[in-house]
Structure 1
């Protein structure tokens, strides 16, 4: 940690997708089309970075396993909240195009320690 640079604080919205039996999840659509829609809608609202994670193991999917997550970073909790209000309905409307699962959203304040 660099003592001359105090840690920054940003906000992160995490979407967590947990597996249930007989669900479907199209990672290709999620990682391309849905990610493009997400960045298109959220960039003008302060989005700093967007990540899509695909869980790759271990073993076969079990009920309750996390199969995918998304992380959207914003300059503040307030900016993240406003972005969710403004774009949340359009993003939620796209979910059936790639999965039958429903994401659980978490809003966090992240303390960034630069090295």
Structure 2
């Protein structure tokens, strides 16, 4: 299993609409990639590691797939539509990391 983490960096000017992300963007991604998506969830950054420190990421999205190949095959054809939706909920440029889930 792999996890695709989409990390939205925090800054003084960063905006993120978690309501839109959860109600519209994640369901859009799920619909487009279909059964290849095992699960999805979102995290809202609330603090950094030190007292009073801002979170490094304003939000994160996590998508679980069986394999990198499964992700690429299901996501690739819809990448343009998915990325075009970013401006509806954030003004940041996300970073993507693919990780192997170790249990």
TM-score (norm 1): 0.77
How far 1:43 moved relative to its partner?
2.0
- 1:79 is aligned, of 57, 60, 70, to 70
* Aligned counterparts of 2:90 and 2:53: Cα–Cα separation in 1: 18
Deviating beyond 3 angstroms after TM superposition, the runs of 4 or more aligned structure 1 residues are 58-62
Aligned pair count?
100
Structure 2 residue aligned with 1:51: 41
Higher helix share: 2
For structure 2, the residue ranges without an aligned partner over 5 or more in a row are none
Matched, 1:34 2:25: yes
Larger Rg: 1
For structure 1, the residue ranges without an aligned partner over 5 or more in a row are 1-9
